[in-house]
Structure 1
C-alpha cells in the first residue's frame, strides 16, 4: 500500500516524521479511505516539548477551540472506553487516572456527551495499525513501545459515511518508553500521565488541537488540555474553559443524566474551526 510521509512541527524546535498509510490523515490534511472499506482514519499526535523551566500559568479564558468534523452520533452515547494494562508504568494507578479523565469529559455543563468506563481488556489498538487496520468494536487505551521519541501518545479515530461521517471507534496508544509520573510528584524530565490521558480522550470525543503549537498560539490556547504538546513536569490535568466550550459546541444539550454536572453553561463560544 502506498504511504505518504507527513512532517509535524514540534514546539521544541525539531520535527517528527509520521508515516501514514493511504486512507489515513493527520489533523487538517484530507485523505481518502479505501472504497471497499468505506472507513476513514485520523491520527492525532501529542508531542513533548521537553522544557522543565515552567512559567506561572496565565488566567484561564476561552480561546479559539477546534472541532474535528467527525463526532459520535447521539445514539452511540455514552461511548465505552476500555483499558489494556499491558506495558503500563509501574507504581502509577493508570486505571484511576483513566476513570478520572472519563468523568471529566462526561460532566461538562451544556454538553450532552458522555464516556463510560468498561474495565480492562486484552484487546489491542488495531485502529492505529496503519498497515493492517483491525477494528474490534472497543475503544482501547494501551501502552506501546513503537511510538517515536518525542511522541507522548496518539489517538486514532475511525469514522464512516464520508468526510463528515460519524465516529465508529478510536484507539489510544501511550508511549511506554516515556518517563511517566504522577501530577503530585513529578520529577525532572517526567511527563504527567494524567494530562496525557485527558488530552487523548478529548480526541476520542472528536476534538482537535486549538492551534498548531507555534508562537502564534494564545496564552489561553497554551493552557487548554487540547494544546498539542506538553512540557516535562507540566500539568494540564483539569479541563479548561476552552475545552468545555468545544464540547458544548460539538454536543449541545443538557448534561448526561446522573452526571452530577450542575449550573448553567456560561462559556463564550468562539467561531468554530475544524481540523
Structure 2
C-alpha cells in the first residue's frame, strides 16, 4: 500500500560565516555550506524528509553534524536517501489560511530570544507593501515542533531543542508538511559558536526572521552552495548563510514575498453615478459636486435642497449668489431636486 509522504524542508536559518577565528581554530578553514538529504521514519507518524544545510569546515565535519542532529531527533534514517519523489515545498498558504497563526514555546530559549523576537519577525513579513501575506501571533504555547513528536498537531509552532554541535552545527530547521502545518525548530545549544570557532554573538532575531521567511514559503535568495550570488541576494535576509545581524527585510526579500503572495488586484475604479430626473421633485444621493456642476450636466435641474440636520441648505438657478447656502452636495445625504422636464446624466465621482 502506498504511504502518503509528508515532506519536511529543513532549511538552515543561519549558516555561520567566519568572523574572527578563536585561538583553538586559527588557521582552520572557514565554515562552508554543505547540503544533505536524509529520509526518515517517525515512530507512529508519517515519514519525513530532512534537508540539512550545515556550516562545517569539511565534508566529514558536516556529515558528523548531520548524523548527530538526526540521532537527537525521534526519527529513524532510511537507506537509501530520498529521491525526487519527495516534494518539500508543494504548496503555499491559501487566502483562506491568511493570516497564518504562529505560536511560540520559549522553553529552553536564550535570554535574547523572547516573544518579542518572534513578534518582530512576524510583523516584518506581514507589512510588505504590495503583498497580501500576513502572519498572526498566536501567543505562548506548551506544544513543540511536530518533528519532535509523531506528526502534525494542527498548530504552527516555534520551539527549541538542544542539538549537538561539533565543528558543524544546524542552528534551525523549518518543517513543512502536506498537512498544512509549518513548524520551526531552533537549536538551544549555547556552544554552537564556540565550537565553530567564532568570536561573535549570534543574533537570534536574525535567525528567526530568516526562518519565518521559510514558514511563509520562501526558498533561499541564492541557491546554495552553487551560486554565484548577486549583491542583492547576499544582502537578503533569506541568503543561505548567516552574515551577522540582519533584522530588516531587503529588496530581494520583499520582492520574493510579493511574487509568492501578490496583493489582490485593485477593483475597477468606481464609475460615474447615473442620475435620472423626472418633472417635479426628485430625491437622490448625488456625488460630492457643486450644484453648478450638476446643473451643467442636468439642464432640467432648477433647484436643490439638502437638510444638514439643523436647517435646509438651498440652491436655485434664479437665486442670487448671496442667498445660495448649498455649496456642495454631501456624499451620504439625500437631496431634493426640482426638475422642469425629464433629463438624465452620468455625474462623475469627485
Q: Distance in 1 between matches of 2:133 and 2:124?
A: 11
Q: Which runs of 5+ in 2 are unaligned?
A: 4-10, 18-30, 58-88, 266-350
CA deviation vs aligned residue, 1:134-186 (integer Å, no higher than 9, x gap): 211111111111365421110001125xxxxxxx11110111014699xxxxx
Partner of 2:108: 87
Q: SS at the partner of 2:218? A: coil
Matches within 5 A, 1:239-250: 239-250=249-260
Q: Distance in 1 between matches of 2:215 and 2:133?
A: 12
Cα drift, residue 188 of structure 1: 2.9
Q: Distance in 1 between matches of 2:153 and 2:127?
A: 27
Q: Distance in 2 between matches of 1:93 and 1:118?
A: 17
Are 2:234 and 1:213 equivalent residues in the alignment?
no
Deviates more, 1:111-120 or 1:209-218: 209-218
Pairs aligned (count): 201
Partner of 2:263: 253
4+ runs deviating over 6 angstroms: 8-11
- Which one of the candidate residues 189, 203, 209 is aligned to 1:198? 209
CA contact (8 A) 1:45 1:228 kept: no
Q: Decide whether aligned partners of structure 1 residues 76 and 251 sit closer, same or farther in structure 2, where only a CA change above 3 A counts.
A: same
- Which one of the candidate residues 127, 138, 141 is aligned to 2:155? 138
Deviates more, 1:109-118 or 1:207-216: 207-216
Are 2:242 and 1:230 equivalent residues in the alignment?
yes
Q: SS at the partner of 1:118? A: strand
Q: Decide whether aligned partners of structure 1 residues 178 and 151 sit closer, same or farther in structure 2, where only a CA change above 3 A counts.
A: farther
Partner of 1:175: 187
Cα drift, residue 70 of structure 1: 1.9
Q: SS at the partner of 1:143? A: strand
Cα drift, residue 254 of structure 1: 4.8
Q: Decide whether aligned partners of structure 1 residues 105 and 14 sit closer, same or farther in structure 2, where only a CA change above 3 A counts.
A: closer
Q: Distance in 1 between matches of 2:192 and 2:133?
A: 29
Give TM-score scaled by structure 2 length.
Answer: 0.50
Q: Decide whether aligned partners of structure 1 residues 180 and 98 sit closer, same or farther in structure 2, where only a CA change above 3 A counts.
A: farther
Partner of 2:121: 101
Q: SS at the partner of 1:210? A: coil
CA contact (8 A) 1:79 1:114 kept: yes
Matches within 5 A, 1:1-275: 12-13=31-32, 15=34, 17=36, 19-21=38-40, 43=50, 45=52, 47-48=54-55, 68-90=89-111, 92-126=112-146, 128-129=147-148, 133-146=150-163, 148=165, 149-159=168-178, 168-178=180-190, 188-214=199-225, 216-231=228-243, 234-254=244-264
Q: Distance in 1 between matches of 2:160 and 2:56?
A: 20
Q: SS at the partner of 1:71? A: coil
Q: Which runs of 5+ in 1 are unaligned?
A: 2-7, 24-36, 51-67, 161-167, 182-186, 256-275
Cα drift, residue 108 of structure 1: 0.6
Q: Decide whether aligned partners of structure 1 residues 115 and 14 sit closer, same or farther in structure 2, where only a CA change above 3 A counts.
A: closer
CA contact (8 A) 1:144 1:174 kept: yes
Q: Distance in 2 between matches of 1:236 and 1:99?
A: 16
- When Rg is computed on C-alpha atoms for both structures, the one with the higher figure is 2
Give TM-score scaled by structure 1 length.
Answer: 0.63
